[in-house]
Amino acid sequence: MKKYLTLVVGLITIIGISSCTKEYYDTVPSQTFIYQIDQNSWEWENDVSYQVFHTKTLPELTDYYLLEGGVSVAISFDGENSYDILPTTFNGIAYSVNYEVGAVTIFAEDPLADAGIEIPLPDAAVVKVILSESDFIREF
């Protein structure tokens, strides 16, 4: 009787294991770009003292990423030991980002946008731009 019970349990186990299906998931690729902004690379707008900016050309940032994919930008002031995702405020300076096809612009400004304040040029920074593909479903 034990033989038959063992045989039946064994067959049920084999059938159960063989009926499992493996699911494979496609990974969505991303591209990461890292570049440095030196302190003397920031630019001033004409007659604007409370804001500086730095524009980086990024040909890989195409219409696809602008309209359907994802763009994430972070900045590091400690040699890439940590990153702050933009927008952020660091040492009293508000950082934000604007991107368009082919370029990313980082802004550093007085958080109150006070025309009477001249912000100091930010220290050298490392910027990380991540372009991510996504499964675009539809517009809302």
Residue 60 has pLDDT above 70, yes or no: yes
Cis peptide before 87 (omega within 30 of 0): yes
Which CATH number is 69's domain given?
Answer: 2.40.30
What is the arithmetic mean of pLDDT over 110-117?
82
Asked if residue 25 belongs to a domain, the reply is no
d(CA 20, CA 14) in angstroms, rounded, equals: 10
Asked if residue 140 belongs to a domain, the reply is no
pLDDT the model gives residue 121: 86
Asked if residue 37 belongs to a domain, the reply is yes
Asked if residue 121 belongs to a domain, the reply is yes
Question: Backbone dihedral region of 80: left (phi > 0), alpha (psi from -120 to 50 degrees) or beta?
Answer: left
Q: What is the 3-state secondary structure (H, E, C) of 76-128?
A: ECCCCCCCEECCEEECCEEEEEEEECCEEEEEEECCCCCCCCCCCCCCCEEEE
Is 83 in contact with 128 (CB distance < 8 Å)? yes
The number of domains in the chain is 1
Q: Which domain holds residue 63?
A: 30-132
Residue 120 has pLDDT above 90, yes or no: no
- CA nearest neighbour of 118 among 30, 47, 20, 58: 47
The sheet carrying 30-37 orders its strands as 30-37, 125-132, 70-76, 84-85
Instruction: Pick the more confident residue, 61 or 50.
Output: 61
Asked if residue 76 belongs to a domain, the reply is yes
**What is the share, in percent, of the chain residues with pLDDT greater than 70?**
79
Asked if residue 4 belongs to a domain, the reply is no
Residue 48 has pLDDT above 60, yes or no: yes
Asked if residue 53 belongs to a domain, the reply is yes
pLDDT the model gives residue 108: 94
Asked if residue 60 belongs to a domain, the reply is yes
